[in-house]
Chain A
Amino acid sequence: MTDSYLQKVLERGRELALLERAAAVPVSHAPVLRVATAALIGILMSFLPLASAGEELIPLIL
């Protein structure tokens, strides 16, 4: 058996082991959390002025 055959086996084996490790790394949810926070702020920014406008209308209605 040539030494290069063994080296090739080791190299292919190492790549598979590395991929297995990569697949086990937990996914970072940071971008998802950032998007969710931004969406929440957006919703609040849109509804707060409406809510305060509504409050001003209450005395007029009553």
Chain B
Amino acid sequence: MKIKWTLLGGILIFLSVLILHPQQEVVISIKEGMPAIPLALPDFIVRSSLPEIITIARELHKIISDDLKYSRVFQLLPKSYYSYIRPLNPEEIFFKDWESIQANILFVGEVPESEGKKFLFEGKIYDVKAGRFIFGKRYQSEKNLLRLVAHKMADEIMKIYGERELFTSKIVFISNRDGNDELYMMDYDGYNQTRVTFNKNQDYMPAWSADGKKIAYTSYRNNRAGLYILNPFEGEITEVVSKGTSFAPTFSPDGKKLAFCSTLEEGNPEIYVATSEGKKIKRLTFNKAIDTAPSWSPTSREIAFTSDRGGTPQIYIMDAEGSNVRRISFGGSYHDAPAWSPAGDRIAYISRVDQIFDIYVLNLRTEQVIKLTESNARNETPSWSPDGRHLVFSSNLTGTIQLYTIDYDGSNLRRLTSNGENKLPDWSR
């Protein structure tokens, strides 16, 4: 069955590649389980003898190469293959050569001569089989933004293949590295770890807005755990709820709503929904039990959440208006932290068994559950990457709580943080 799908997928890609046209917006949907697309990424061409420019070209190549390898969409050809063919000539590309080493896509990068603080970078993508240019992009930037330029270029390649931007996405999290729990953000690969809040308060459970411009989070101020919306790029903070303890905020993918848990009314943790500005607060759950940890479906029409209304914490789904509640987690006594995948077909969550917390993924279509992490640790707070192929989570695997990413199939575990303790990650959409 798997082989059949793979074959069908291969044919689909093949057909799509056939109808490519440089002027058209090319969108090929890549489904999981399909073989990664073979991509040739020869060394970038340097139009300068300046050692600085040569270094820039090498760094850009390294970052784009790391990005594409991480993607699970592309598969980089081994460098040794390039020695079998004629060296790359950007003025006249011998597509047959590249086809002979099984490249489907050829990426040609060039770093022209430049002076001062700025550098130039040009990337071109060729469809090898069709023997034509698909897409090109030119960047000019300051040298300190080199990583961003490389990530933007890699994201352009993703976009051609119908993927969401991944490499320019940001992970917001809580760290105590500067003394108390504050908000930080970083690139998907752990680079550029930047402090976002500067106060003596304990800040908690941050969540990106759908457009990646705002962060909702809980802050302990004046003996209250209030819910705030921060615009980290403008430095504006607004308070959403002025009563009770409010936490676990999550913006709907359509950008219109903000769901959160609060003890606003009767002192009991219930799920509420508001506009994305935090206005018009409406209660969704009415239950003596705990209702918490909401997570929106990608359509913004349903919400997964945790409730112990059945005696133990379990995962439920309800309609965005609060009706039609149904339980979806079974076979365990402690489930929490649901995270609905961007494609909508899966929900990741934490299951506690004998004091060990592992991440599980429930496939809503097949109702199959896979165990994503296998450890003797506490793995918590999973959050999907925008393309749904990776998850970020916290773990005390090494003794201290740190952030890791892992792929949807349990492979490619990467540690992202090491400074202080780091937890409660949320990956931007």
Q: Do A and B bind each other?
A: no
A residues at B contact (CB < 8 Å)? none
